Structure 1
């Protein structure tokens, strides 16, 4: 039997609630499948850790995580800790330190969920957004000078490298190639950003020549928001920069009904380091502790993790259980239901076992 060692970092807000639900579902799934086991180690890093120790994780945090097969991450962010501290103190050091350069965010409308789009239902919106996750606008380069003076200056330098852009384009084209429609949209803003983004466009065209069977087009990021909203069926696989994909994937989650159903995988495609899997929704402190957080994004994230670990059948079984539960109307308030986190989790566990969920 294969055993996978998972580093679980629940972190902040609703993170502990949804990660607990995710681990519960994974345990039931492993028992049902019978050919693998999950061994999870919980790390108490996050904003509470910061308030006690002055850092979001220990200085040797990456070294502690390096030997695990995958990282299962909850959410980061707290109302009483500045956002740049929480993000740059925990999530980004893991993504950048382990060179998880491909951030993969699938989106589709699940059964039982009514999306805000007119004439759009399950099967009409089925996208995968590939986000460049190591450089671009989130490179962390820049600075501030003359603080507090009228002439104070703040610079934020977006860095695009040929190696960084080429590898994310190849990843996106390969992913598009593996999907039935073989269709890729490259998001850009090269009309206004005339250096890094023009290079982005040029490299996209170069890489496209390696994938003759993939149809691709290019779309300015502002026009892309219109296309996603008015013509969702025209899209399939999407690749965009760190900032652009961050924004567009939140829009995608909302168009599918809720960020509570939106998953993320931070992938090191070369498998030199553990990859990290997390729901998109953030810490959501306004509902933390109320028992109504939607665990579906975390379950879908767990399915991405299983696929990465080489358990596609288990991942498929998990998503079938999730869709069976949502189709039965067992939904949390963010998608129009009255169920609790515990209700949805219990129903998914029952569906995994093949039992009656109503």
Structure 2
């Protein structure tokens, strides 16, 4: 019997609702397939926790989380209670950085039965590989002077090691898919960092002669996501560009409520973290109408990373069969509640 120890952090807003739904699905997956067991431990780290304790997680929070195979996160943030820069840097980004989760993976595909937010209705299936530890999200910089003379300085940091790592992951993924890697760049406008990025992409691509490559400037590539998503396979991007493109990929699927992601630690020293990308959506929290598919598709990625590829693919097929038959929440134009969609997924997993 294989046992996976999972730390769950429901977090804020709809995260508290969709986490139990995904846990129900994972427990059903274990029951159906056998040989697999989950041990879930829930942690209350959230904006409510901050209001009570003055921190998003306790001093030993990372030590506690480090004892698990994976971290399963719901959503972080409620700006009406805690400023976003405090909630994110105190929990989500802190985990990513301290646990060296240097790669972010976000798939985007058109599920059967879901109407895309595009006039172009060609099926698409892509993966965005985002460098997750440096780039434009470096905290190096500062602010000086006051009043109208105030200056903010934000330094971008690109290392060859981390850039090559992200690109190698992208090429490895493409070798198992359609065999195309698209690099997101802006070397016609960003003078130092993006030519550096382009040079490394050319170097890495030489190690994969069977993989097709292309480079697109980020503004043109964003438009391409809307006009020709079916022509994309694996997109590799820096921290900021990958963040923007992956949210755009979620939007063209029909709803950001179904989009998953994985923050991967590749050296085995710390757990990886899996989270949907829709945010805490406090405006609909507590109404039972949140879409559980983002969290459940994220559970598929958790299974896959932990060596359960066949089970993971079965779960994804069931999710898509459910959407194809019209079991969709309101964000997709459907009539079903959150628990009703989950119930249908669980029912079909048992068949």
Q: Same fold (TM over 0.5)?
A: yes
Partner of 1:94: 95
**Pairwise CA distance, 1:79:** 2.3
Q: Please, which moves more after superposition, 182-191 or 58-67?
A: 58-67
Matches within 5 A, 1:204-223: 204-223=201-220
Partner of 1:155: 153
**Pairwise CA distance, 1:82:** 0.9
Partner of 1:107: 108
Partner of 1:53: 53
CA distance in 2, matches of 1:119, 1:133: 31
CA distance in 1, matches of 2:77, 2:20: 18
**Pairwise CA distance, 1:119:** 3.8
**Pairwise CA distance, 1:270:** 2.6
What is the DSSP-based 3-state SS (H/G/I as helix, E as strand, rest coil) of the residue aligned with 2:226? helix
CA distance in 2, matches of 1:46, 1:242: 24
Matches within 5 A, 1:99-178: 99-121=100-122, 124-147=123-146, 149-178=147-176
Alignment partner of 1:258 is 2:259: no
CA distance in 2, matches of 1:232, 1:260: 19
What is the DSSP-based 3-state SS (H/G/I as helix, E as strand, rest coil) of the residue aligned with 2:136? strand
What is the DSSP-based 3-state SS (H/G/I as helix, E as strand, rest coil) of the residue aligned with 1:263? coil
**Pairwise CA distance, 1:269:** 2.2
**RMSD, aligned α-carbons:** 1.0
Alignment partner of 1:334 is 2:331: yes
Partner of 1:229: 226
| CA distances 1:224-274 after superposition (whole Å, capped 9, x unpaired) | 011111111221100011111111111111111010111000011232211
CA distance in 2, matches of 1:90, 1:167: 25
How many residues are paired up? 350
* TM-score, length-scaled by structure 1: 0.96
| CA distances 1:108-132 after superposition (whole Å, capped 9, x unpaired) | 11111010222415xx210000011
Q: Which runs of 5+ in 2 are unaligned?
A: none
Partner of 2:40: 40
Partner of 1:314: 311
Alignment partner of 1:246 is 2:247: no
The answer on whether the counterparts of 2:120 and 2:227 sit within 8 Å (CA) in structure 1 is no
Partner of 2:280: 283
CA distance in 1, matches of 2:33, 2:345: 15
| CA distances 1:192-223 after superposition (whole Å, capped 9, x unpaired) | 11111111110010011111111010000000
Q: Which runs of 5+ in 1 are unaligned?
A: none
Partner of 2:344: 347
* TM-score, length-scaled by structure 2: 0.98
CA distance in 2, matches of 1:96, 1:188: 24
**Pairwise CA distance, 1:172:** 1.1
What is the DSSP-based 3-state SS (H/G/I as helix, E as strand, rest coil) of the residue aligned with 2:138? strand
Partner of 1:75: 75
Structure 1 segments (4+ residues) deviating >4 Å? none
What is the DSSP-based 3-state SS (H/G/I as helix, E as strand, rest coil) of the residue aligned with 2:275? strand
